[in-house]
Amino acid sequence: MTDTSRRSSLIGRNLLAGAEPDVAGDAGHDGHPPRVGFFTDTSVCIGCKACEVACKEWNAIPEDGLDFTGMSFDNTQGLDASSWRHVAFIEQSKPLGRAEAAVDHSDVDVLALAARGSGTPVAEAAITPTSPASSPSADGQTGLRWLMASDVCKHCTHAACLDVCPTGSLFRTEFGTVVVQDDICNGCGYCVAACPYGVIDVRPQDGGAHKCTLCYDRLGAGQEPACAKACPTDSIQFGPLDELRERAAARVEELHRVGVADARLYGHDPEDGVGGDGAFFLLLDEPEVYGLPPDPVVTTRDLPSMWRHAGAAALTLLGGVAAVFAAHGGMSGRRTGRWGR
């Protein structure tokens, strides 16, 4: 697309909200590759933290405290400038459901199936279907379940962090991802306040903002991000976003079919408040349970109308001041006419 046709395709659109089919193209990348992202299927996460470790190793991120909170096995506690992946451990008083009796898996090669990952159909993967159980179960037992979910920067379609960055340190890559250039960041922290997910943060040691780059250097070399590569269960899947969305929809359908009624997608919808996330999730409960905002909205969405209102207010003020001066000038003139000789 030429510069002129790109400019005319952008005119009249609110570029800060709504569906955005070509983020990389609109950022000026001609002939760019397909937009890529993460689909994190939390239903198969085992909480091993291989993703956290791989991320730290590959990106040479400093250690930022391994404190025992006394509340959970989650000693990372959250995303910040030195934790670009965070595996949440959520303990719930909620029975998992009861395994259906008389399902025989003795002839199943579990290692071969594991090698195929979470894309393996449930029937083929020989997962014992469970009956949904609300507490307490038939035998009077209440239960406990762990929810584990590896959180990360969402590489938003409308990334408020990028919109507010005054130095251009945050930019949209040719893969449609959002990356910080450390050497340009001045540490002002505007992006920290703007991110609707509380992801990006300033590292006190170097005063710069940091977050997941979706391993931009690895993508450039044709490799998948380190976390996806390390995940032993394929909970973190990397690929072209359109393909991941199709895979995720099929996975939710599959889980519903075997009785996991709570399975739902989060961040997959291009019509949501951030125009859809480049990193989206399959969750087994409400987003709030995982510490995710239920209905995130890009914080710069209303900037155009705010500027319009501010402009109208400034014009009204200027009009008022001009009217006062005009009236004052008229009175002076009349005064000059009467006594000015």
Q: CA 45: distance to chain centroid?
A: 18
* From 134-142, 228-236, 282-290, 332-340, span contacting ligand SF4 (CB under 6 A): 228-236
Residue 87 binding ligand SF4, by CB under 6 A: yes
Residue 154 binding ligand SF4, by CB under 6 A: yes
Contact 89, 47 (CB under 8 A): yes
Tokens of 87: 């595996």
Residue 45 binding ligand SF4, by CB under 6 A: yes
Cis peptide before 136 (omega within 30 of 0): yes
Q: From the list 35, 49, 86, 218, which residue makes contact with ligand SF4 (rule: CB under 6 A)?
A: 49
Residue 263 binding ligand SF4, by CB under 6 A: no
Q: From the list 43, 59, 76, 150, which residue makes contact with ligand SF4 (rule: CB under 6 A)?
A: 150
Collect all residues with Cβ–Cβ distance below 8 Å to 152 and sequence separation of at least 6: 38, 40, 79, 84, 85, 86, 199, 212, 227, 279
Contact 142, 153 (CB under 8 A): no
Residue 244 binding ligand SF4, by CB under 6 A: no
Q: Which ranges of the chain would DSSP assign to H, the alpha helix? A: 3-10, 23-26, 50-59, 110-116, 122-125, 160-164, 190-194, 216-220, 226-230, 241-257, 303-339
Residue 268 binding ligand SF4, by CB under 6 A: no
Contact 95, 134 (CB under 8 A): yes
Residue 23 binding ligand SF4, by CB under 6 A: no
Q: From the list 24, 81, 127, 178, which residue makes contact with ligand SF4 (rule: CB under 6 A)?
A: 178
Q: From the list 36, 79, 161, 292, which residue makes contact with ligand SF4 (rule: CB under 6 A)?
A: 161
3-state class (DSSP) for residue 151: strand
Compare residues 155 and 218 and give the one whose CB is closer to ligand SF4.
155
Residue 48 binding ligand SF4, by CB under 6 A: yes
Provide the binding-site residues for ligand SF4, judged by CB under 6 A.
45-51, 87, 148, 150, 153-156, 159-161, 178, 195, 197, 199-200, 211, 230-233, 235-236
